[in-house]
Amino acid sequence: MSSLWKPSVTVAAVISRTLDGVQQFLLVEEHTPEGLKLNNPAGHLDPEESPQQGVAREVLEETTCRFVPECL
């Protein structure tokens, strides 16, 4: 039996802004068996999706914020 190996590519965003001299980061809450965790928006690429498209989609899905990556 032959099966194709399909790698799973993960993308994640680090989004920050400075407001009134204070640097802030966009994080998402994750409820785990160990309790509440804060994490950056992340997920897996869909087929035929570029890393830029995937990270923008994941940020929108998890935060409802539109995001355009500035660098990788």
Dump pLDDT digits (tens) for 27-39.
Answer: 999 999 999 999 9
Mean pLDDT of 1-9: 76
Dump pLDDT digits (tens) for 49-69.
Answer: 999 999 999 999 999 999 899
* Residue among 65, 69, 64, 70 nearest 54 (CA): 69
Cβ-contact 57, 20 below 8 angstroms:
no
pLDDT, the chain, mean: 92
